[in-house]
Amino acid sequence: MNTLVAVSIAPFGIGDELAAAVAEAVKVIRASGLPNRTTSMFTEIEGPWDEVMQVVKEATFVLARKGIRTQVVLKADVRPGYTNMITTKVDKINKLLGREDEHPQG
């Protein structure tokens, strides 16, 4: 069943600069082959439920296996019969705003 998640995987107890550790988790997500998009606070991943959750687990454990305390915040949208929601949802909003040619970060 198609699932779109917004996930934040954050290390704790490693100081103030988290970018390198977060990048390790994002690298796992990007290598998954599932559609994904990273913003300043979350990474969205879309695909079948089991595959998406496996990627979230692997991205989390890449830090946890190093002994890093890791917090995961996850929001999921399970919508039977729909695909490509990672872009379709934003495209609908941009169309309503008269900004059809703009991407989410545009």
Where does residue 29 fall: left (phi above 0), alpha (psi -120 to 50 degrees), or beta otherwise? Answer: alpha
pLDDT of the residue at 103? 56
Which residue reads 């979230």 in tokens? Answer: 56
Q: Per residue in 8-64, pLDDT tens?
A: 999 988 878 889 999 999 999 999 999 999 999 999 999 999 999 999 999 999 999
2-96 CATH: 3.30.70.930
pTM (predicted TM-score): 0.86
Q: Per residue in 73-91, pLDDT tens?
A: 999 999 999 999 999 999 9
